[in-house]
Amino acid sequence: MLDRIWKKIVHRQGFGLLSITDSLLWILSLLYRVASVLHRLMVGAPVRAAVPVISVGNTAVGGSGKTPIVAYLAQHLIERGIKVGLVSSGYGRSNPAPLLALGSELQRLSADQVGDEVLLLSHLLPVAVFAVDTVKAKAAVRLGESKKVDVIIVDDGFQHFRLARDLDIVTFDASVDQKLLHLLPYGVLREPLSALGRADIVILTRAESVENIAAVRQKVLRLSPEAEIDVATFSISELVGRSGWLSVSQIAGMKILAFAGIGNFEAFRKQMESLTGCVIETLEFPDHERYGDASLKKIRHRAIDTGADLIVTTGKDWYKLGDFDFGRKLYYVRQTVNLESDELTISGIINRLGLTKRNH
């Protein structure tokens, strides 16, 4: 509930009743800045894992396309014979006990046991080794000591100062409205934009939604002049369901109910609308929604009431839904990541970290 109210305030258009909260949010953002600085000063010297560590993070809340980039990098490294480990806090899981297992093993568990993002990544990366812990530094050290991996990718590690990183990759959502680029809770930033100066690589995501990506690139270059800047677009390659898959051309003209519990629902909605070219009913849930009986029935009733031909969600949400009968076929979108530099980025990471290509 509080999350929805906050989103309404920061995303409001023009002056209105919600504008009254501006001063309060601005003051809270100053306190947030002070708390962030104090936190970093109190962390102490970072610990180092036994193998190279790549962090993939962001500077904002609300979904910058970080998880697809994690999957993209991991898959391309695996295809080059490099053993990849994934570190995550397993946000949203009920049991905080540490986990260390192959993705193929975690697939048998639920989102409640491992976290929704870990569950999704385990299906995308079955041969990767996952270390899940509320303290990511401990997970990375444990994974390095296991001698099962050549490199570690930390999901959402840019603000995790307890862990030394060999490469900091930051995803920056190029489509975010400029007026939102303020510190929480006045805006959506976890850190000031100047924090991009710590990044080794900045990937401008959702470039397909931006008219002037060159202007965004120049802004980021001023903030992070030493970083390599790459551009990523996300496209939907197909829709996947229990009984098979649908190509993009097959859903043209269909009436779709799209729902999700993700940080940036608006980006998902726009992506679906541009894909289908028809009116879409949408249903937004809080990020990391657990989908209890009430939520599932709400989706089913909305699909029936609107006469939807099919229901579409994200991969992260799909794996939390079980076998509930929605009265319509349910699909999730399979996204393709397209990097401007593509091969150069992967090769550059391998060379920079001294990773050895193997055939195994």
Encode pLDDT of 281-315 as tens digits.
999 998 889 999 999 999 999 999 999 999 999 99
Mean pLDDT of 333-349: 88
**Could you tell me the residue ranges of all domains in the chain?**
53-230+338-353, 235-337
Mean pLDDT throughout 332-354? Answer: 90
CA-wise closest residue to 288 among 74, 69, 61: 61
Comparing 58-62, 108-112, 215-219, 297-301, which segment has the lowest mean pLDDT?
58-62
Does residue 291 contact residue 261 with C-beta atoms inside 8 Å? yes
Are 155 and 70 within 8 A, CB to CB?
yes
Question: In CATH terms, are 53-230+338-353 and 235-337 the same topology?
Answer: yes
Q: Percentage of residues in the chain with pLDDT exceeding 90? A: 66
Please give the CATH architecture assigned to the domain spanning 235-337.
3-Layer(aba) Sandwich (3.40)
User: If one looks up domain 53-230+338-353 in CATH, what number appears?
Assistant: 3.40.50.300
Distance of alpha carbon 47 from alpha carbon 62, whole angstroms? 28
* Res 7: pLDDT: 60
**Per-residue confidence (pLDDT) for residue 17, from 0 to 100:** 45
Whole-Å CA distances, 147 to 49, 124, 126, 141: 11, 22, 18, 11
132 pLDDT more than 50: yes
Range 210-217 average pLDDT: 92
For residue 83, pLDDT over 70 is answered with yes
- Summarize the confidence of residues 273-288 as an average pLDDT: 82
Token couple for 284: 């937004």
Mean pLDDT of the chain: 89
- Residue 41 banded pLDDT, cuts 50, 70, 90: confident
